[in-house]
Homo-oligomer: A and B are copies of this chain.
Amino acid sequence: MAQNVIIVGGVALGSKAACRFKRLEPGSRVTIIDQDRFVSYGGCGIPFYVSGDVSDVNDLRKTSFHMLRDEAFFKNCKDIEVLTRTRVERIDRENRQIHILREDGSTDALPYDQLVLGTGSRPRRLPIPGADLPMVHTASNLNDAQAIKELVTNGKVERAVVIGGGFIGLEMAEALADMWEVETSIVEYTRQIMPGFVSSMFARMAQREMEKNGVRFYLGEQVQALEGADSVKTVVTDKRRLDADLVVMAVGVTPNMELARDAGLTIGPTGAIAVDEHLRTSDPAIYAGGDCAEIRNLVTDQPGYFPLGSMANRQGRVIGTNLAGGKALFKGAVGAFAVKTFDAALAGAGLSIESARKAGYDAVSVQAAQLDRAHFYPKKSMLHLELVVDRHSRRILGVQGFGKDGDAVVGRINAVAAILEDHPTIDRLSNVELAYSPPFSSAMDALNALANAAENMLDGRFQPIDAEGFAQKWSQGNGDLMILDCRARQDGEAFAEKYPERWINIPQDELRQRFGEVPRDKDLILLCNTGVRSYEAQLNLRELGVENPVSVQGGIVTLKECGLDL
């Protein structure tokens, strides 16, 4: 039986749901309503439009075959009606109709059999003085994008301040600093970028990559006011004043759930619309998805909020199927993410060590550094990985990666993301099978090695210290500290000479013979290039009765990548 389906919001979820449903039920009528003038655009492309990677804003509105997804496209290609510049004022669930307000002031009531809410989110704006000044933008829609691009293209921006060190903040900072050589700073309220997504050490790695490319960071600082007359001129934090002719606020988003709430639909604990696994709201005739809805976090099994274009697209298809009487499921998300930081990438899935502990897990993490392909293959990059596990159950709670070869990083994260919803233990990852060939991976891939390191740690064989632990001991200048450098002489000797009081070089293959030289009354830290030989040395020493040393996980390459200057 032909239905009348109305979809509120036509950016990602709405247009996908509409198209999928029409393919399944071509005889039904579908109307998309959006308050903006644009629908169906790739909002995640905005930083890349600002950077110049995408030259025309309409490229973000086009299909991969270069057709503009405007009202005519939906009418002709999809037989879907799109009403832009139209607000949905109210849902009348009892009579199954919505009340709309057009730009010209006219109103109407439209009936529906089924309704879809894809109302999205809006960027948060800090409630500080000056937040409404000209030249203060968010990076949320194409109007903002065009405004910012016009400013930078015309050379009107010399100094920009980005507020917020999350995905959008980092991407916008790169866009401004890289292409337009704008002097760009990021101010972040917490003590690290990407808080909640990666450990402070992995955050440091990405931060340093951006610093090398000219971006400045002010971490642990709170923006208190924006000042200026005609337009913003100064960003005032609790610690300093920063000049700026452009401010980008990238401090997260808020789900647009008011329409649903006012209609009496259930709102979940995250503040977004609650839906079941079929993406149905508390009213069975109404679906919701994308940035306005909350879904299950498949790692914690708690309600979660994942405002990402990839969620919206897949959810849109599920809703389209279910509108047509299907039983498609969207179980939730594991929170996979990736962000390019100039020539490197930071990516992850599941929980960071900090977010795992916050969620109540007895979580530990292990870091490893390994080349992303066969060490004898000429093209290769160092891959840094961190695995977060539940100590008792050995369940994998999350994984994060950083490296100079973005696809290699993201590829590893995706292999873990694919299994994370099954609540795998580290054994699964120790033996996860990746396609092996020297140009693409190692016989023992970095992911396998990472899980093996976690096992060795949990079994008490591997007693690691991380870059922050090392840095703390190093800077305390404790006279008991002694670095036992297990690298070959050509690598380690210079350090031993530079720090005669606290650094000795005994290559791991000489350790048995030179055991007598190992200081027994010191706070001993074992170190090598990536952590393989220092782990071996740890076992050698234990065999010889020395139980206390710790081994630097990820080795000196990790210390350096975290910015330690030795």
Interface residues of A (CB under 8 A from B): 12, 16, 23-24, 26-27, 42, 44-45, 48, 53-54, 59-60, 62-67, 73, 76-79, 167, 308-310, 312-314, 317-318, 328-331, 333-334, 336-340, 345, 347-349, 370-371, 374-378, 405-408, 410-419, 421-422, 427, 430-445, 448, 452, 461, 487-488, 508-510, 512-513, 528-530, 532-533, 536, 539-540, 542-543
Would you list the 7 A-B pairs with minimal beta carbon distance, nearest first? A411-B411, A310-B436, A64-B375, A407-B407, A76-B509, A338-B435, A26-B543
Known contacts A42-B438, A376-B42, A419-B418; A77 and B536 CB within 8 A of each other: yes
Q: How far is the CB of A166 from chain B (nearest CB, A)?
A: 12
Q: Kindly list chain B residues whose C-beta atoms are within 8 Å of the C-beta of A452.
A: 317
Q: How far is the CB of A381 from chain B (nearest CB, A)?
A: 10
Known contacts A26-B539, A45-B376, A407-B407; A77 and B508 CB within 8 A of each other: yes
Q: Do residues A414 and B435 form an inter-chain contact, with CB atoms below 8 A?
A: yes
Q: How far is the CB of A392 from chain B (nearest CB, A)?
A: 18
Q: Do residues B438 and A45 form an inter-chain contact, with CB atoms below 8 A?
A: yes
| Apart from A65-B530, A415-B417, A417-B432: 13 A-B pairs, beta carbons within 8 A | A26-B539, A44-B437, A45-B374, A54-B376, A60-B376, A64-B371, A78-B536, A310-B434, A310-B444, A312-B443, A333-B433, A336-B434, A410-B411
Complex Cα spacing A407 to B526, Å: 34
Q: Do residues A417 and B439 form an inter-chain contact, with CB atoms below 8 A?
A: no
User: Which residue of the partner chain B has the closest CB to A22?
Assistant: B539
Stoichiometry, copies per complex: 2
Q: Kindly list chain B residues whose C-beta atoms are within 8 Å of the C-beta of A405.
A: 407
Q: Kindly list chain B residues whose C-beta atoms are within 8 Å of the C-beta of A411.
A: 407-408, 410-411, 414-415
User: Which residue of the partner chain B has the closest CB to A540?
Assistant: B26
Complex Cα spacing A408 to B411, Å: 7
Q: Kindly list chain B residues whose C-beta atoms are within 8 Å of the C-beta of A59.
A: 376
User: Which residue of the partner chain B has the closest CB to A167?
Assistant: B437
Complex Cα spacing A556 to B256, Å: 41
Q: Kindly list chain B residues whose C-beta atoms are within 8 Å of the C-beta of A53.
A: 377-378
Q: Do residues B62 and A376 form an inter-chain contact, with CB atoms below 8 A?
A: yes
Q: How far is the CB of A150 from chain B (nearest CB, A)?
A: 19
Q: How far is the CB of A66 from chain B (nearest CB, A)?
A: 8
Known contacts A79-B512, A530-B64; A48 and B444 CB within 8 A of each other: no
Q: Do residues A314 and B438 form an inter-chain contact, with CB atoms below 8 A?
A: no
Q: Do residues B488 and A65 form an inter-chain contact, with CB atoms below 8 A?
A: yes
Q: Do residues B445 and A310 form an inter-chain contact, with CB atoms below 8 A?
A: yes
Q: How far is the CB of A462 from chain B (nearest CB, A)?
A: 10
Complex Cα spacing A243 to B473, Å: 68
Q: Kindly list chain B residues whose C-beta atoms are within 8 Å of the C-beta of A529.
A: 65
From DSSP, what is the main secondary structure of chain A's interface residues? mixed
Q: Kindly list chain B residues whose C-beta atoms are within 8 Å of the C-beta of A77.
A: 508-509, 533, 536
Complex Cα spacing A509 to B65, Å: 12
Q: Which of B44, B421, B533, B542 contacts A374 (CB 8 A)?
A: B44
Q: Do residues A65 and B437 form an inter-chain contact, with CB atoms below 8 A?
A: no
User: Which residue of the partner chain B has the closest CB to A72?
Assistant: B509
Q: How far is the CB of A169 from chain B (nearest CB, A)?
A: 14
Q: How far is the CB of A454 from chain B (nearest CB, A)?
A: 14
Q: Do residues A436 and B338 form an inter-chain contact, with CB atoms below 8 A?
A: yes
Q: Do residues B539 and A330 form an inter-chain contact, with CB atoms below 8 A?
A: no
User: Which residue of the partner chain B has the closest CB to A491?
Assistant: B65
Q: How far is the CB of A81 from chain B (nearest CB, A)?
A: 14
Known contacts A336-B435, A349-B433, A488-B67; A539 and B23 CB within 8 A of each other: yes
Complex Cα spacing A405 to B419, Å: 24
Q: List 15 A-B contacts (CB under 8 A).
A: A23-B536, A42-B376, A48-B438, A60-B376, A63-B375, A64-B530, A77-B509, A309-B436, A310-B441, A310-B442, A333-B433, A340-B437, A411-B414, A412-B414, A414-B434
Q: Which of B45, B419, B508 contacts A419 (CB 8 A)?
A: B419
Q: Which of B348, B440, B510 contacts A406 (CB 8 A)?
A: B440
Q: Kindly list chain B residues whose C-beta atoms are within 8 Å of the C-beta of A371.
A: 64
Q: How far is the CB of A482 from chain B (nearest CB, A)?
A: 22
Q: Counting chain B CB atoms within 10 Å of each CB, which of A167, A376, A440 scores highest? A: A376
Q: Do residues B340 and A431 form an inter-chain contact, with CB atoms below 8 A?
A: no
Q: Kindly list chain B residues whose C-beta atoms are within 8 Å of the C-beta of A73.
A: 509
Q: Kindly list chain B residues whose C-beta atoms are within 8 Å of the C-beta of A441.
A: 310, 338, 410
Q: Kindly list chain B residues whose C-beta atoms are within 8 Å of the C-beta of A435.
A: 336-338, 347-349, 410, 413-414, 417
User: Which residue of the partner chain B has the closest CB to A371?
Assistant: B64
Q: How far is the CB of A386 from chain B (nearest CB, A)?
A: 15
Q: How far is the CB of A534 from chain B (nearest CB, A)?
A: 11
Q: Which of B336, B345, B408, B438 contacts A436 (CB 8 A)?
A: B336
User: Which residue of the partner chain B has the closest CB to A348?
Assistant: B435
Known contacts A45-B377, A53-B377, A336-B434; A65 and B532 CB within 8 A of each other: yes
Complex Cα spacing A427 to B413, Å: 21
Q: Kindly list chain B residues whose C-beta atoms are within 8 Å of the C-beta of A63.
A: 375, 532
